[in-house]
Structure 1
Amino acid sequence: MFTNIGLRTVLKTSAGVLRESSALCSAVSVKPWTCSSALFSGPTVSRVAGSFAVPPPVRHYARVAKKKTTGHDSQLRDLPPTMLKMDYAAVPLAETTDDLVKRLLSLELASHSEKLQLKKEQLIAKVQRDENDRSSVEVQVAILTARIRNYQEHLHKHHKDKANKRRMLMAVDRRKKLLKNLRLVSYDTFERVCEQLSITYTFPPEYYRRLTRRWQAKKEFCIKVFKAVQKQKAEQRLKMKQNLRATEKKEAKEEAV
């Protein structure tokens, strides 16, 4: 019984709202189906004379377009497209073939891995000790340099590639160790390798620890303790010297007597 009474009251109120909305629509001379949707959609400017004007909603403008980044200089830019691939460079017949076959054998239609392999060979030829040198420190540094620059070009386009970023950092650490050992063993060779490969060697910081308040307070406390200990040791040394002088004077007096 109570549920029926509740349903009746709800229906009566909804019917009253619909009558008011239809009356408002007729007064504004707007179609009822459009006016009802406008009433329930949000605040709009009223057209009835003597009523207050509701401000229009704020427009949501589009975001500012991101500036396009300039292209990263590739290490393969100095390789001309007419150059033959590494496998066909030593073949004399490849130079005398027609243009179509030469184009197929050139770098114009070569893959990125083939171009990268040719760049590695060029860097190796700059620093290797002799023609058969393939395992010296200089050759390893050249191979790592070509690999690191390839990773840098890739990450400039795909900056969210975490796997290749990790591989690049591992290669950078490996090259740092090799250059550090080469600098200690042969400084002239180290300078020549850095000059030929255009590598800027920077010294690593002495300490990698992050500075915090706790660490700074602990450091200051350790310095105070160290100074206090040094002061106590200096006082002990002074006392020992004084005692030694007093014993020496006493012995000298006893010998004189």
Structure 2
Amino acid sequence: MALRAVLKSSAGALLESCLKARSCGSASLSGPRAGCVAGVFAALPPVRQYARGAKTVKKTVPQSQLSDLPPTMLKMDYSAVPLAQTTDDVVKRLLSLELGCHTDKLKLKTEQLIAKVQRDENDHSSVEVRVAILTARIRNYQEHLQKHPKDKANKRRMLMAIDRRKKHLKNLRLVHYEAFERVCEQLGITYTFPPEYYRWATRRWLAKKAFCIKVFKEVQKQKAEKRLQMKQSVASKETEAAKAQ
């Protein structure tokens, strides 16, 4: 009986000391360490680390080739209809580009580019017209790929159109150079000359090329030294001849 009473009294004292330590630690906890009373440490409160918000990077949207088309312009199918010009505003809005799709706008842009380079009003199949059509198509593919860079099918179509336009421009440059310059100026095309030959840049080829360049520079250096020696010898001979006279 005496042992039970001693154990109960010691357990009660330990429980009271724990409660006091907890209350003391929660009241006086201000730093990274917790207070301790009678050898009992107070538990640290849970630390919540919230994730920082990701920085939003503003993407620069390139200007579209269709941005210069006014929304009040009529669609291509209704621009030549005289009745469409005299209708009320609601019908004009339905027939205009404001409610038109992307295909209607692309048709009008293609017609504008064709009008810049065509030879006459009835010209619809010359090399200049084909270059204008391919230019509008290529720019449309480029704008699409900037928004959807993983679209491999349209990327392949764009590369095929670029190769076809290069072939037309090359033939036009050889046959009619003035028309070639006018087409490049009107459509804003920068023509780059293709390389003379294509070669895979292997490690062996790069090492050989670097070695050849090094040898060429060394040979040029030796030639320059020989020229300098010859000039000095000629100058010394001229001075000796002048002294002899």
Partner in structure 2 of residue 172 of structure 1? 162
Structure 1 residues 157, 217: CA separation in 2 closer, same or farther (over 3 Å shift)?
closer
Find out whether 1:106 has 2:106 as its counterpart.
no
Write the mapping of 1:136-215 to structure 2, written as runs, cut at 5 A. 136-215=126-205
1:196 shift after superposition: 0.9
1:222 shift after superposition: 9.6
Q: Which moved more, 1:78-87 or 1:154-163?
A: 154-163
Partner in structure 2 of residue 128 of structure 1? 118
Write the mapping of 1:1-257 to structure 2, written as runs, cut at 5 A. 29=22, 48=36, 59=49, 61-62=51-52, 64-217=54-207
Aligned residues: 188
1:208 shift after superposition: 3.8
**What SS is found at the alignment partner of 2:71?**
coil
Normalising by structure 2, what TM-score?
0.65
Normalising by structure 1, what TM-score?
0.62
Partner in structure 2 of residue 19 of structure 1? none
Gaps of 5+ in 1: 1-22, 31-43, 224-257
Distance in 2 separating the partners of 1:188 and 1:113:
32
Which residue identity lines up with residue 128 of structure 2 in the other structure?
A: E
Distance in 1 separating the partners of 2:53 and 2:170:
48
1:61 shift after superposition: 3.6
Deviations 1:115-164 (A, max 9, x none): 10111111111111222222211111100100011111112222222221
Deviations 1:60-114 (A, max 9, x none): 7436424121221111111111111111111111111111111111111111001
Gaps of 5+ in 2: 1-14, 24-31, 214-245
Q: Give % identity.
A: 71
Distance in 2 separating the partners of 1:111 and 1:168:
21
Structure 1 residues 203, 53: CA separation in 2 closer, same or farther (over 3 Å shift)?
farther
1:167 shift after superposition: 1.4
Which residue identity lines up with residue 107 of structure 1 in the other structure?
A: L
Distance in 1 separating the partners of 2:101 and 2:125:
26
RMSD across aligned positions (CA): 3.3
Distance in 2 separating the partners of 1:141 and 1:84:
25
Task: Tell me if structure 1 keeps the 8 A contact 2:22–2:43.
Answer: no
Task: Tell me if structure 2 keeps the 8 A contact 1:45–1:53.
Answer: no
Distance in 1 separating the partners of 2:181 and 2:89:
43
**What SS is found at the alignment partner of 1:117?**
helix
Task: Tell me if structure 1 keeps the 8 A contact 2:72–2:97.
Answer: yes
